[in-house]
Structure 1
Amino acid sequence: MLELYAFEVRRRGRQTLLLTVLLVATIGLVVGLYPSIAASGVDFEAYVESFPPEVQNAFLGSVENIGTVEGFLVTELYQFVWVLLLGIYFGYVAAGAIAGEIEGNSIDLLLVNPVSRSRIVVAKCFSLLPTIVVVNGVAWMAVLAAVAFVGEDIDPLDLLVLHALFVVYHASSATIGLLASVLVDRVRVAQGIAIAVHFALYLVDSLTLDTDYEWVGDLALSRYFDAGAILVAGDVDWPGVAYLVVVAIVLVVVSAELFERKDVTG
């Protein structure tokens, strides 16, 4: 199991590097825009209120004080890029974990090793954690450096907590793709399912928030992760974090059990 884990981590090295560089560039661009926007005298509160509530929930988050650098980062970076796009990305990558081996006819090479199918699933899943940790760790340092460069201040501890909890959120997102990877044998189909499920849950969460149908979005991972509350107010929804951990564990266990019973001899 450790050999498989190490192999998968090494194989993702270049992918991790490219993703990290891209995200650091995005951080630099977003933070670099803040001084000019803040100096323009734009009434951010009126700007936010001009959008329908559904759009505010989906793309702007729950931040009230958008004029601060923390609020700006949540609305322009974390809510869309980190919550939605990176959540989808890690689910997309995990969706190729098992389906890719089956479609590529390399699954037999794994199964002949003295390792149970459940351990293969766990190793595949855990091999994504270094990427998730590196991306969020480097992003934390990049945001601190970029904010300091433009002459602004941000609480490094709140920012660290935010990215640490993003590790949990992204790991939970990945397990959705892992389950899809076990359910179907074709990589593109599994990846399509992972993207569709994650985006649909995010959309349902945004559209039903503060409505009579709010319960419909209770399954969405994004319902239990409020980047604005963490970074701006310093509040952490610990029951929500626990929910994300439980979801990740349950989906890994279900994926492992399904793979144990799956016929891959075809």
Structure 2
Amino acid sequence: MTAILRVESRKRVRSSLVLVAVFAVLSAFYFSMFPGIQAEMDVLEEAFPGFMFDMFGIEELHTIEGFIAAEIYSFFWSLLVAIYFAYVGAGLIVSDLRARKMDLTLSNPISRESVVLQKVAALWVPLVALNVGVPVIVFLGALLIGETFDPVALAMVHLLSVPYLLVCAGIGLVLSVLLDHVRTARAASLGLVFVLWLVDGISRVDPDYEWIGTVTPSRYYDETEILVHEEYAFLDAGILLAAFLALLAVAIVVFTRRDI
């Protein structure tokens, strides 16, 4: 009953470890920079236009929390990791359809609903690997340069990112059951997640258009508020979780009615 889950989980191990290693390298680079530029951070802040700080939610760059939130989490985590989950989600169903593996899978006594649920459940591998490995790396990196993070805030910035990343995976999953080509589904999911992230950032610049960002997933995950201000938006995380469940339900309905 869990064969698909086991197989899909094993497929995610290598890419998850590679991502953790990439974040380790990035973290080492940024932590090595921080002590040297901390004293000049006020000058650097003045050199950038104000809308850049509003667009990306950057605050208090002179602190280790603000610096890491801006340099690692506001871009690499909120965008690149989100794109990774959208990419994975977009290949969950359509890749097996194109390779004719789905016919063999469904020839066994297993429902289509179970196929989708087990494939999505396999995302626990990158979720656990990234949300355990990266905070450990960040926490130890800060200690090595004589800085510290509030361990609760650091844990929460990762815990509250899980619903956000699941929504991005859900976007890819819906496209995976709607489209007939793997490349098309993946390209569409990457483009959509990027555009939503960009729309959220641009809408923050002008208060008159800030409401537009309410339809974007990234609006409900603010790494700066968590790390810098230690404010935990559990309601926003609940909204994202509900959105993910809605996307999952749509994908299941479409897939169960689709001709294969």
TM-score (norm 2): 0.95
Q: Trace 1:237-252 onto structure 2 (pairs within 5 A).
A: 237-252=233-248
Q: Give the letter aligned to residue 195 of structure 1.
A: L
Secondary structure of residue in 2 paired with 1:204: helix
Out of 181-190 and 124-133, give the one that drifted further. 124-133
Change (3 A) 1:57 1:2: farther
Query: CA deviation digits over 1:132-167, x for unaligned, max 9?
Result: 121121001000100000111111111011111122
Q: Does 1:56 align with 2:49?
A: no
Task: Give 1:259's match in structure 2, choosing from 224, 239, 255.
Answer: 255
Offset at residue 52 of structure 1 (A): 4.9
Q: Trace 1:101-140 onto structure 2 (pairs within 5 A).
A: 101-140=96-135
- Cα distance in 1 for residues equivalent to 2:50 and 2:62: 19
What's the counterpart of residue 27 of structure 1?
27
- Cα distance in 2 for residues equivalent to 1:198 and 1:168: 14
Query: CA deviation digits over 1:174-200, x for unaligned, max 9?
Result: 111111111112110000110111111
Task: Give 1:225's match in structure 2, choosing from 179, 197, 221.
Answer: 221
- C-alpha RMSD over aligned residues: 1.5
Out of 242-251 and 63-72, give the one that drifted further. 63-72
Query: CA deviation digits over 1:190-236, x for unaligned, max 9?
Result: 00110111111111111122432222221100111110000111001
Unaligned runs of 5+ in 2: none
What's the counterpart of residue 199 of structure 1?
194
Task: Give 1:148's match in structure 2, choosing from 124, 143, 160.
Answer: 143
**Are the counterparts in 2 of residues 132 and 171 from structure 1 also a CA contact under 8 Å?**
no
- Cα distance in 1 for residues equivalent to 2:232 and 2:67: 19
Out of 118-127 and 201-210, give the one that drifted further. 201-210
- Cα distance in 1 for residues equivalent to 2:41 and 2:250: 52
**Are the counterparts in 2 of residues 202 and 220 from structure 1 also a CA contact under 8 Å?**
yes
Offset at residue 41 of structure 1 (A): 5.6
How many pairs does the alignment contain? Answer: 259
TM-score (norm 1): 0.93
Offset at residue 42 of structure 1 (A): 4.4
Q: Give the letter aligned to residue 16 of structure 2.
A: T
- Cα distance in 1 for residues equivalent to 2:109 and 2:159: 35
